[in-house]
Chains A and B, each alone.
Chain A
Amino acid sequence: MVFNLQTLVVMVLASLFGLFVGAVPGLTATMATALLVPITFFLPPIPAVAAMVTATAMAIFAGDIPGCLVRIPGTPASAAYVDETYRMTTKGYAETALGVSLVFSVIGGLFGTAVLILAAPALAAAALQFSSFEYFWLVLLGLTCAVFVSGDAPLKGMITLFLGLLLGCVGLENPAAHPRFTFDSPDLLSGVSLIPAMIGLFAVSEVLRFSLDANPLAAVSRQVGSVFRGMGAMIRRYPVQTLRGSSLGTVIGALPGAGADIAAWMSYAMSRRFSKEPEKFGTGHPEGLVEAGAANNSALAGAWIPALVFGIPGDSITAIVIGVLYMKNLNPGPTIFINNPSSIYAVFLLFIIANLLMLPLGWLCIKVASRLLRTPRNLLMPVILLFCVVGAFAINNSPFDLWILVAAGLIGWFLETHGFPIAPAILGMLLGTMLEEHFIRSMIKADGNLLAFVERPIAAGLAVLVLLVWSVSGWLGWRRGRAAPRG
């Protein structure tokens, strides 16, 4: 079923497509999946699924490449550690950073696949028991992590998080469907589009910063050597991190609503918190990259667990995939394991092949991409700006999104210049709506009784976890604040 010429050709073409989309800032893995939908019309079920599985796996890995080379995440899933990889590049370890991205993407992807194959029904059953109460706490935990990743400026991270949350409030999507902060603009009724805002905050701001740089030909030193050199040592050095990142990524992926992006954020934050050398994070240290790089690829496979078993998307990619599965008469749900087991096992096999294919094709992509470094930056940056503008337009074909791009670019540049981390703003925009929705839904269920948020055991556990994280980081921040003036 899998090892026929058509499926294999489709997988190689989808890989190249995924690598291109992932490596171009502003094009996301979700967009790659959406763009594949018209093509899957013309394909039999298994090659159709193969195209989507391969393209997304490649895109999530390739998203690390521009982050590493020019400090622009190729996809949101790479945003968590883009500073880290870029620091490694400026230190001359670009190929180590890319090698870690590639190797641990493959490991994470294979780990997630193994869990998908072995534990799919059990894990999905646990996640299915979650109600809006549990989701509320989970989203809150994700938001807390946004401030974690902001590193040494938690207060400033908190401010940008609040700004992102405010932006997420814009539009009609709220309990009374009241047009909040739309200022009578019909374009704002559906809210501030996330992708154009993200391209603006992460990419346009970078071009603006470059335009003020005195040196247009920023010399980026390169480490000479193989991408794979030293990777065995990395695996031996960070086995716990690899396992932790892969496991967390799979679990986050399997939980509906959270995908590769949040998996990377949470893993990076977790890696930093548990590291023996947390002070090295953000200075070009591979540890967090190992963990988060494995996490975002394992989340891809994890997201398929609830998608296949219950027809509930684990992330935005599987939301599209489920539509295609229905189109191909592979209706997801518990019965698919009984009625169509060969297709299910074919899907499992596709995941394994896609992740193994990533090693040679990803290596090839890195070899081509590192030429970016030798391109003069004053030629590269205007072209990147053009990619940003076209990419922002491509998501919704909406001219209004271009204004969001410009505004977000200026805001991002201003905030970053003044030491405000911009990443929490994106997470705020992403999760704000979700948090409110789960809160309101819970309150309708509980008839306004706030105690309902801690009455269910899992919800109570998550609540304790959130409070624990808050008090511990609050205490650490207070202690640091007191120590600073003396030191």
Chain B
Amino acid sequence: MARLGDAPIGAAFLALAGAVLWHIRDFPPAPGQPYGPALFPGLIAAGLAVASVLLIASAFRSGRRAAAFSGNAGEGGDPGSAGLAGPAARRWLPFAATVATLIGYVAWVDRLGFIITAFLMLCVLFAAYRVRLAWIAPVAAVSTLVVHTAFYKLLKVPLPWGLLSGWVW
């Protein structure tokens, strides 16, 4: 997998520290005492900035300038244009499916209900992780029902029913 080097990551953290320091300027002081709500975020951001600079410095000091920008210069290629066809895309597909199902679950669980959303989520993930086709639906159904029973029935977690609210059991 293509990786970023320490230098750009350090730069990003340095920018974050700068943004925090900028943001806390308008924090009001605490009434009647010298140390207000801006003190700790300020100290932390300053620490983060120093550590980021040290990280960038050590990335450059480690010798190979190229390596500072790309974690694995040898492997080559940047992650964005690593080719949408071929093995790279096939390798990123399960990752994309994982992120997509996570976001999909959070976005739709209230409307569709836990049982439907979880079943769909598992089906998509099993398919993306290349589980044998015949296993996908049964394993997804059983896992969904087991998790539902454990959390909804035993641990009393109010998992939403959504579309199935007419058939609550």
Interface residues of A (CB under 8 A from B): 35, 155-156, 158-159, 162-163, 165-166, 169, 174-176, 178, 180-181, 204, 207-208, 211-212, 214, 216, 376, 378-379, 381-383, 385-387, 389-390, 393-394, 397, 399, 402-403, 405-406, 409-410, 417-418, 432, 435-436, 439-440, 443-444, 448, 481, 485
Contact of A208 among B95, B109, B143 (CB under 8 A): B95
Tell me, rounded to whole Å, the shortest Cβ–Cβ distance linking B140 to chain A: 8
Which A residues are in CB contact (< 8 Å) with B118?
386, 390
Known contacts A208-B98, A212-B91, A212-B92; is A382 also within 8 Å of B31 by CB?
no
**B91 x A162 contact (CB < 8 A):** no
Query: A212 — nearest CB in chain B belongs to which residue?
Result: B95
Contact of A432 among B40, B55, B130, B147 (CB under 8 A): B40
Query: A436 — nearest CB in chain B belongs to which residue?
Result: B40
Query: A35 — nearest CB in chain B belongs to which residue?
Result: B155
Interface of chain B, main secondary structure: helix
Known contacts A166-B45, A166-B48, A178-B27; is A394 also within 8 Å of B157 by CB?
yes
Distance of A21 Cα from B6 Cα, bound (Å): 38
**B52 x A397 contact (CB < 8 A):** no
Contact of A207 among B98, B109, B130 (CB under 8 A): B98
Which A residues are in CB contact (< 8 Å) with B77?
none
Using A166-B20, A207-B98, A212-B91 as known contacts, list a sample of 20 further A-B pairs with CB atoms less than 8 Å apart, ordered by residue number in A. Answer: A155-B58, A156-B55, A176-B27, A176-B30, A180-B24, A208-B99, A211-B129, A216-B130, A378-B126, A379-B139, A385-B125, A389-B102, A390-B147, A393-B159, A402-B105, A405-B106, A418-B71, A440-B30, A448-B35, A481-B58
Contact of B61 among A156, A387, A417, A485 (CB under 8 A): A485
Which A residues are in CB contact (< 8 Å) with B128?
211
Which A residues are in CB contact (< 8 Å) with B28?
176, 178
Which A residues are in CB contact (< 8 Å) with B47?
158, 162
Contact of B99 among A155, A410, A418 (CB under 8 A): A410
Known contacts A35-B155, A440-B35; is A162 also within 8 Å of B58 by CB?
no
Which B residues are in CB contact (< 8 Å) with A481?
58
Which A residues are in CB contact (< 8 Å) with B71?
418
**A394 x B155 contact (CB < 8 A):** yes
